């Protein structure tokens, strides 16, 4: 098992696989988006209790929006049901009001589901995502990417 807590710069592609990418989100609310994101990983048998993870993420959102601005949100949660880290990426072309810190629409969503016991790894992956999306050029490329392979390519050069 990979332990990102032991690395300074986590390789996000260890956790983000093509099957965890959705470039055409349908939801129009925060809850619908979170349900779709969890569905990406739940549908693959990685999360036995879909509702529990959705509830954990929405509980985290009540503490403060994970819409960090610049069109990006990083909904995340730690769960005792998760054995490994899973990172999903999704895009909503029209964007939605996700309660972002800058008040702007959110287009890009990074869902991080982590084992409850590995807080350090969870924080390192969040930090890696944050560094990635600080680059407006990368955010623009993610918004415009034609397909999942292009998304993977963008992540691989970071």
Active site residue: 46, 76, 78, 92, which one?
76
Q: Is 127 exposed, middle or buried (0-12, 13-18, 19+ CB in 10 A)?
A: middle
Q: Write phi, then psi, for 28 (nearest 5 degrees).
A: -115, 0
Distance in angstroms (rounded) separating the CA atoms of residues 37 and 88: 7
* 122 noted as active-site residue: no
Q: Write phi, then psi, for 4 (nearest 5 degrees).
A: -65, -15
Dig out the tokens for 66 from the structure: 């994970």
Active site residues: 76
């Amino acid at each position: 098992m990979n332990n990102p807590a032991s690395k300074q710069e986590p390789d996000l592609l260890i956790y983000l696989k093509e099957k965890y990418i959705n470039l055409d989100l349908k939801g129009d609310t925060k809850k619908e988006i979170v349900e779709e994101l969890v569905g990406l990983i739940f549908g693959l048998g990685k999360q036995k209790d879909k509702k529990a993870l959705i509830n954990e993420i929405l509980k985290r959102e009540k503490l403060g929006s994970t819409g960090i601005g610049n069109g990006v949100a990083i909904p995340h949660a730690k769960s005792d049901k998760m054995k490994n880290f899973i990172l999903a990426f999704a895009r909503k072309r029209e964007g939605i009001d996700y309660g972002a810190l800058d008040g702007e629409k959110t287009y890009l969503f990074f869902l991080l589901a982590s084992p409850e016991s590995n807080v350090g790894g969870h924080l390192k992956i969040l930090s890696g995502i944050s560094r990635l999306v600080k680059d407006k050029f990368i955010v623009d490329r993610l918004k415009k990417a034609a397909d999942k392979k292009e998304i993977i390519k963008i992540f691989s050069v970071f």
